[in-house]
Amino acid sequence: MKAIIVGLGGRAGTWIGVCGGHEEVEIVGYVEPVAERRKVVAEKHSIPDGQLFVDLADAAGAIEADFIVDVTPPAAHEAVANTAFDAGLHVLGEKPLSDDFDAAKRIVAASEAAGRTHMITQNYRFTLPPRTTRRLLAEGLIGKPEQVGIQFYMPWATRPGTHYVEFPYMLLKDMGIHHFDMMRYVLACDPISVRCMTWNPSWGWHKGDASHVALFEFEGGLRVVHTAFGSSVGRKTAWNGDWQIEGPEGSITWENDKIFHTRSFPADKAAREEIPPDDIPLSGPDAILAEFVAAVKEGREPECSGRDNLNSLAMTTAAVMSAEQGRKVEIAELLG
């Protein structure tokens, strides 16, 4: 399959490498409106001039391709996706689906109208702890879970002047979409509502709030409390966060990305076991690209399709709404 990389900022290098490592993918074009970025990437990867374009429409008209990898800023995703769909191209897009929920819904509708595959790169769910834990829960290791606690502590976005530091609610939007999507995947159910409170500590360096507590109510009475502190200067968690999933037969925890099953009560059933992660062939972006290519070839909806990812984006959007408006927000307010 032939790919066009759209957007040659810092994240593009990851996808150039990932595509280059897939035996069924060939990059045939690169799109970037900023001349200096085109020059830097072309020199680094020895790209011929004939594969460099300023505009996706020009690229699609000049070369034969099957799909694009959209590595542009979120505000550009709708325009890029529409251009790709109009050219008959499938889209593998960086998260988030969009920075505007209405635009995200329009993108999904456009992909369905065009009959093109559209997948979002939610790479966290394609790592070992989520894949293993979803299986353990499905097998009933701790019974039906009813409460989950997730903690994320990190000196997050420390470079002054970036949009992560300057814009409001960026930790909720940027890290939240990773963790909230993992919630849906690991727990195999969808949220109903959220109540969220945000703030910054006195020593924080973010202009927008980078700390929060969000309480999600899921289907079947499950509750998840997500706590994040992006101005932490103390002990850090893993990027996946530390998780504790509670059921009637004990807990499954992620402790620095190690998985444990623990039961402490009653005493005669006490147990503590580290569970080795499942053996998965690929993880992260490599697994995402493999899933995308397979879905296109098999004519099926991929995991993390745009349609499915609306549910994860709704969690982020609803959490921001809750923080701004000081109320519980029903997810149905966004999804209808």
Report pLDDT for 265: 97
Task: Give the separation between CA 282 and CA 11, rounded to whole angstroms.
Answer: 20
pLDDT tens-digit map of 257-279: 999 999 999 999 999 999 999 99
Burial code of 86-121, b = ≥16 C-beta within 10 A, e = fewer? ebebbbbbbbbbbbbbebbbebbebbeebebbbbbb
Domain that holds residue 98: 2-116
Tens digits of per-residue pLDDT, 128-148?
999 999 999 999 999 999 999
CATH number of the domain at 101, please: 3.40.50.720
Instruction: Extract the tokens encoding 121.
Output: 């790169």
Strands 191-199 and 329-330: antiparallel
In the numeric block, the tokens 């300057």 are attached to 166
- Structural domains of the chain, count: 2
Spatial separation of the C-alpha atoms in residues 312 and 191, rounded to whole Å: 9
DSSP 220: G
Structural tokens at position 46:
């020895």
The CA R_g of the chain, rounded to the nearest whole Å, is 21
pLDDT, tens digit, for every residue of 23-68?
999 999 999 999 999 999 999 999 999 999 999 999 999 999 999 9
Q: Is position 166 within any domain?
A: yes
157 and 216 together in one domain: yes
Q: Are 228 and 316 in contact (CB under 8 A)?
A: no
Same domain, residue pair 251 and 128: yes
Quick count: other Cβ atoms within 10 Å of Cβ 198? 21
Give dist(CA 319, CA 329) in Å, integer.
8
pLDDT at 336: 80
| pLDDT score recorded for residue 59 | 98
Same domain, 213 and 250: yes
Q: What is the pTM of this model?
A: 0.95
Answer yes or no: do 49 and 140 share one domain: no
Residues 173, 31: Cα–Cα separation, whole Å = 26
Last residue of a domain, one of 116, 132, 166: 116
Residue 232 DSSP SS3: coil
Kindly give the parts of the chain with pLDDT less than 50: none
Query: Based on the domain organization, do 172 and 320 belong to the same domain?
Result: yes
Q: Is 268 a domain residue?
A: yes
User: Looking at the domain assignment, is residue 285 inside a domain?
Assistant: no
CB 26 within 8 A of CB 3: yes
Same domain, residue pair 58 and 101: yes
**Tokens standing for residue 93:** 């897009």
Q: Do 165 and 82 share a structural domain? A: no
